[in-house]
């Protein structure tokens, strides 16, 4: 009789536990209009392979034994109590795209549900296609491999993708030359990241996101050149300067420096570096971070002459992500950039990847 009595007690205890778990699941199931239930931040994380609550999941849900927390898009239905995950006591949640494809923990974006990968009208469904030049250089990218996420712009691209809810394996890269994309022609990418300065003229034919980097223009030369010791814009008046074609740098030579000699235009910065080495030009105008790299890594005896002041009353020049004119994802991409600026991510990435040293301002 004792064994039968023990079996009855075990059955009764199991029934009570099932009722308790079902009650918890009904209190914390997915579908909360505000996103992850029990979470003050609204973040969500994919369950780990073991089914345990992973870091970044809604802490309130995990402690109460809830089955799942909805992502910012409210689409984490696959992890709801009906899937039976509550019986294992796990706390799972959908990613911003409504699925946990990578199986690792990831924070859900605070962006609107309409900005989730499943809702965005990208060139390829559930894939974010990003373009950049061929080749690309430090400090923007490392080893000419944008897919490694290294370098300032490589890191920014993946940060934007993550903010939108894409995993790294949902990002695809294509190559496009700098000047070829500044046109109203259809694009084969969702956005291009390649040090594009936001200008009114360019905005007539393409869309830009919010600025992800505030930039100044700078002058690079080599020791012994006639502008190596220049301390003012006036000292540059007789110089033969060069810049990459289609860039703000070339425009700055004409409109701000106004040298007596016509500036030289090059297809890529590397061509300008070669011309400087060969004595064809006296100096190169480029953005400040690139100027640091040129003077330190691309030129023997390179000299960073100084940076140009922003014109009085004007906001700093900014780099923006370039999109097809009228792109249906421009608003969401800008919202992602704004969020990264607000939470300090952009500043942190700039500190990590861009030169920290200063450059004298030319008056």
Q: Supply the Cα-derived Rg of the chain in whole angstroms.
A: 27
Domain range for 321 is 113-214+316-353
C-beta atoms surrounding 6 within 10 Å: 10
CATH number at residue 179: 3.40.190.10
239 Cβ contact partners less than 8 Å away, ≥ 6 residues apart: 226, 227, 259, 261, 282, 283
Single pTM value for the model: 0.58
User: Distances in Å between the alpha carbon of 243 and those of 215, 275, 300?
Assistant: 16, 11, 19
Tell me: the pLDDT tens digits for 131-156? 999 999 888 999 999 999 999 999 99
Cα(304)–Cα(283) distance, integer angstroms:
10
Give yes or no: residues 286 and 321 share one domain. Answer: no
Q: In which band, very low, low, confident or very high, does the pLDDT at 2 lie, cut at 50, 70 and 90?
A: very low
Give yes or no: residues 332 and 198 share one domain. Answer: yes
Give yes or no: residues 204 and 341 share one domain. Answer: yes
CA torsion, ordered 94, 97, 100, 104, to nearest 10 deg: -100
Cα(181)–Cα(283) distance, integer angstroms:
27
Residue 178 domain-assigned (yes or no): yes
Tell me: the pLDDT tens digits for 218-251? 999 999 999 999 999 999 999 999 999 988 899 9
């Amino acid at each position: 009789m004792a064994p039968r009595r023990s079996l009855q007690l075990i059955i009764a205890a199991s029934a009570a536990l099932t009722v308790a778990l079902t009650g918890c699941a009904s209190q914390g199931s997915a579908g909360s209009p505000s996103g992850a239930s029990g979470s003050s931040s609204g973040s969500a994380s994919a369950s780990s392979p073991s089914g345990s609550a992973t870091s970044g999941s809604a802490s309130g849900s995990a402690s109460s034994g809830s089955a799942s927390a909805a992502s910012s898009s409210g689409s984490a239905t696959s992890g709801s109590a009906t899937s039976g995950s509550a019986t294992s006591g796990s706390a799972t949640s959908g990613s911003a795209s409504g699925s946990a494809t990578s199986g690792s923990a990831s924070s859900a974006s605070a962006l609107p549900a309409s900005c989730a990968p499943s809702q965005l009208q990208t060139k390829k469904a559930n894939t974010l296609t990003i373009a950049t030049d061929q080749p690309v250089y430090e400090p923007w990218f490392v080893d000419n491999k944008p897919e490694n996420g290294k370098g300032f712009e490589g890191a920014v691209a993946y940060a934007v993708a993550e903010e939108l809810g894409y995993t790294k394996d949902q990002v695809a890269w294509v190559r496009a030359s700098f000047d070829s994309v500044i046109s109203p022609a259809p694009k084969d990418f969702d956005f291009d990241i390649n040090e594009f300065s936001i200008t009114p003229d360019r905005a007539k034919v393409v869309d830009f996101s919010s600025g992800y980097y505030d930039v100044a223009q700078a002058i690079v030369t080599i020791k012994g050149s006639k502008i190596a010791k220049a301390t003012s814009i006036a000292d540059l008046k007789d110089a033969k300067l060069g810049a990459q074609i289609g860039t703000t740098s070339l425009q700055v030579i004409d409109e701000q420096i106004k040298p007596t000699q016509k500036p030289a235009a090059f297809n890529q910065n590397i061509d300008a570096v070669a011309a400087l080495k060969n004595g064809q030009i006296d100096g190169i105008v480029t953005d400040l971070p690139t100027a640091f790299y040129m003077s330190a890594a691309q030129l023997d005896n390179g000299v960073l002459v100084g940076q140009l002041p922003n014109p009085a009353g004007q906001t700093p020049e900014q780099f923006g992500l370039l999109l097809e004119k009228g792109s249906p994802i421009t608003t969401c991409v800008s919202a992602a950039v704004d969020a990264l600026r607000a939470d300090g991510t952009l500043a942190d990435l700039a500190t990590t990847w861009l030169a920290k040293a200063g450059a004298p301002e030319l008056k």
